[in-house]
Structure 1
Amino acid sequence: MDRRSLIQRAGIAGILAAGAAPAVHAQQAIRWRLASSFPKSLDTIYGGAEVFAQKVKGLSGGKFEISVHAAGEIMPAFGVVDGVQQGSVEAAHTAPYYFFGKDETFAIGGAIPFGLNSRQMSAWTFEGNGLKLMREFYARYNIIHFACGNTGAQMGGWFRKEIKSVADLKGMKMRIGGFAGKVLERMGGVPQNIPGGDIYPALEKGTIDAAEWIGPYDDQKLGFNKVAPFYYYPGWWEGGLQLDLYINQKAYDALSPENKAIVEAASAYAHVEMQAKYDVKNPTALKQLVGSGAKLRPFPADLMAAAFKTSMALYDELSQKNPSWAKVYGDLAKFRADQNLWFRFTEATFDRFMQSQKL
């Protein structure tokens, strides 16, 4: 019996029984683990990873699932780069500047003192050279990254004593995130790089004299106002902290084009959602903190001027000795100059006017 006759007489059941039909393969389910550098109690910054994972699952129809693990569950908060690089986990969600000890260039991917605000950072990343330059840098760590959240401009932190001038920083032990500690150190302070979940007990016991985290909503959750009365602004070291999604390069390369597109879309969604959440929640939290006795203060003018001068001198030094820093920071500095010129006539002028009105 020839093939045509077989098809005509046996129908599909006969074809399958005879083994004549091509094999049909169902799409294989994907299961990843993501290590966060943040505690679960912070639904904003830790929540960014959960938002990303939920969006990946939804866009893939449940075929691509990512379990999110808080700091300390499967690896320490500051161990996630090593974890992704070595393939212990497929992904991590973190603040890049935590890892400036490996190379100062990491800090540029998150925030550096007197760098970019959140809008400018997104512009540099997505439409400038930021994504390209940082991916070239991360490639040496076997990592590909995606922007995945921004806190917006931050507060300057909680202090046990009032700061009246830059001289008050001398000998002061302050928890300060990542790279900004290098600037504080040059100004006489003693920086402490402590994960978010460990800050409160250190401040309560007097192990540290001051601490910054992010802003009112998270700070209120962590209870810093109970152990340090003075709340300073602005966080000059973080005009807008960008969070990154780090993915092991081999794991990413194994994804289909469709799943790579899902990762890109989900991270972009989480990127926007995080700052929107902070912008909604911070004003109410600030009013509640002040109402409960927090003493809101601006940093003294001489401290701000000294911090700016110290930061620029540090960047010049790093540009002389670290080629990676020189390449990435050089591009960011040019971008920052153009952005500040533009914002001077638009955003900043509009904001100053609106903030002076009684609404």
Structure 2
Amino acid sequence: MIRRRLCASLVALFLAAAPAQAGAEEPLHFSTPITYGTHLPGLGKPVKDWAAEVGALSGGTLSFDIEQPGQNVMPQDILDAVSKGTAAAGFSKAEFWANRLPAAALFSGFPFGPDAKTYAAWFYAGNGLTLYQHMYDDGGFNVHVLPCAFGGAETAGWFAKELKSPEDIERLRIRIFGQGGLVMQKLGASPALVPGSKLNQAFQDGDIDAAELYPPPVDARTDLAGAVKRIYLPGWQQPETVMELLINKDRWNALDDQQQLWIETACRDTMFQTMSENPVLAAKALSDFADQGVTIETLPAPVLDRLHQTWDEIAAQQGKHDPFFSQVLDDIRKFRAEIATPGAVAPMAGASSLEPPMTSATE
């Protein structure tokens, strides 16, 4: 069985790596708006690398023409643009469509959800890909979806106030969105709608007490370390960020098997590459923050327990309103239980791969 699988993998790799003959055909161009600029590690740079690999595998016959955020399509309009065919493809993350597709957040990262390795296994060795495509099909969107990169684990956020107990969350003014925001709000926090570019000033003016932003390598491009001196781990609200490739389904179906394989192979390669490099980049960013006097702390167990309990309550309620949400979440939970190593001590669900750097700032 292992030998047959190995042979099949080698054949697929050979076919994917076989470039088209130079000059055999005119390049096919795909306009591809994106959500995050390609200068951002994890969230934006991977699409640039992926497009370059597709070009190389195809011998230049497939060209995904990257459009920076807002260049022609606003990030919030990418799904509709790709579905209608005004854009041939798009690179984003599914949680942006959660207001119309409640289960979307489960495919891009959610409270106490899978890490990168488990997401990859669920997509390719479980029901993940099938359920992912079903969500868009059932929602009436004319798109083909592929998970195509990992954006990295977030931290729990930047905090001007210390969290010692669940009660400290009450009346906490925090910038946080999505499912994590619902959890914090239910525990008594006050979500603050502050643009990322205004966070530094908001902290300095005392308008907010905490803020969730991005994975550490992207946070490092802000000046928050000059205004806030505490980061909490783990990023319980988003232990991993899955970036998706959307392709107009008519354009996808018009491709032959070889062309589709080039695109799929490049996505898998990019997922593996980002899975490998994101923890390294995050560790470096956290170490740099510590050197700037930022304290990297772990959330107390009672706080994490209360957050987890509250998320379970919210998820159960959402599942009652949307059966597909419940189906996807149940499938993820079942898959995680099945692949758990017998006899091993399981990490707390949602525990981030990020660990506090061993510096005096954490003592």
TM-score, normalised to structure 2, is: 0.82
The equivalent residue for 1:226 is 226
The superposition leaves residues 101-129 of structure 1 with CA deviations (integer Å, 9 ceiling, x where unpaired) of: 11220011111111212111111111000
How many residue pairs get aligned? The number is 327
The superposition leaves residues 222-255 of structure 1 with CA deviations (integer Å, 9 ceiling, x where unpaired) of: 2221222211110112222221111121221122
| Matches of 2:117 and 2:302, distance apart in 1 | 27
The equivalent residue for 1:22 is none
For residues 76 and 203 of structure 1, do their structure 2 counterparts lie closer, same or farther at Cα, with a shift above 3 Å needed? farther
Which stretch shows the higher mean deviation, 50-59 or 139-148? 139-148
| Matches of 2:113 and 2:103, distance apart in 1 | 13
| Matches of 1:202 and 1:149, distance apart in 2 | 32
Contact 1:46 1:70 in 2 (8 A): no
For residues 171 and 90 of structure 1, do their structure 2 counterparts lie closer, same or farther at Cα, with a shift above 3 Å needed? farther
Question: What's the secondary structure of 2:236's corresponding residue?
Answer: coil
The equivalent residue for 2:40 is 42
The equivalent residue for 1:5 is none
Please tell me whether Structure 1 or Structure 2 has the larger radius of gyration of its CA atoms.
1
Question: What's the secondary structure of 2:221's corresponding residue?
Answer: helix
Q: CA deviation at 1:272?
A: 1.2
The equivalent residue for 1:209 is 209
Which stretch shows the higher mean deviation, 79-88 or 54-63? 79-88
Structure 1 unmatched ranges of 5 or more: 1-24, 350-354
Q: CA deviation at 1:87?
A: 2.0
Contact 1:99 1:178 in 2 (8 A): no
The equivalent residue for 1:271 is 271
Identical-pair percentage: 25
| Matches of 1:163 and 1:342, distance apart in 2 | 33
The equivalent residue for 2:189 is 189
Question: What's the secondary structure of 2:40's corresponding residue?
Answer: coil
The answer to whether the aligner puts 1:291 opposite 2:258 as a matched pair is: no
Which stretch shows the higher mean deviation, 106-115 or 296-305? 296-305
The equivalent residue for 1:103 is 101
For residues 126 and 229 of structure 1, do their structure 2 counterparts lie closer, same or farther at Cα, with a shift above 3 Å needed? same
| Matches of 2:329 and 2:277, distance apart in 1 | 29
RMSD: 2.7
Q: What does residue range 270-349 of structure 1 map to in structure 2 within 5 Å? A: 270-339=270-339, 341-342=340-341, 345=344
The superposition leaves residues 257-301 of structure 1 with CA deviations (integer Å, 9 ceiling, x where unpaired) of: 221111111111111112222122222221111011111122122
The equivalent residue for 2:149 is 149
| Matches of 1:57 and 1:208, distance apart in 2 | 45
The equivalent residue for 2:64 is 66
Contact 1:93 1:243 in 2 (8 A): yes
Q: CA deviation at 1:26?
A: 4.8
| Matches of 2:313 and 2:206, distance apart in 1 | 32
| Matches of 2:64 and 2:280, distance apart in 1 | 27
For residues 117 and 30 of structure 1, do their structure 2 counterparts lie closer, same or farther at Cα, with a shift above 3 Å needed? same
| Matches of 2:196 and 2:42, distance apart in 1 | 13
For residues 305 and 124 of structure 1, do their structure 2 counterparts lie closer, same or farther at Cα, with a shift above 3 Å needed? same
For residues 245 and 344 of structure 1, do their structure 2 counterparts lie closer, same or farther at Cα, with a shift above 3 Å needed? farther
Contact 2:152 2:215 in 1 (8 A): no
| Matches of 1:344 and 1:142, distance apart in 2 | 45
Which stretch shows the higher mean deviation, 184-193 or 58-67? 184-193
| Matches of 2:32 and 2:201, distance apart in 1 | 27
Contact 1:183 1:310 in 2 (8 A): yes
TM-score, normalised to structure 1, is: 0.82
Amino acid at match of 1:178: G
Question: What's the secondary structure of 2:178's corresponding residue?
Answer: coil
The equivalent residue for 1:127 is 125
Amino acid at match of 2:119: M
The answer to whether the aligner puts 1:162 opposite 2:162 as a matched pair is: yes
The equivalent residue for 1:13 is none
Amino acid at match of 2:57: L
Structure 2 unmatched ranges of 5 or more: 1-22, 349-354, 359-363
For residues 51 and 318 of structure 1, do their structure 2 counterparts lie closer, same or farther at Cα, with a shift above 3 Å needed? same
Amino acid at match of 1:29: P
| Matches of 1:242 and 1:271, distance apart in 2 | 9
Q: CA deviation at 1:188?
A: 1.6
Q: What does residue range 172-187 of structure 1 map to in structure 2 within 5 Å? A: 172-187=172-187
| Matches of 1:226 and 1:344, distance apart in 2 | 45
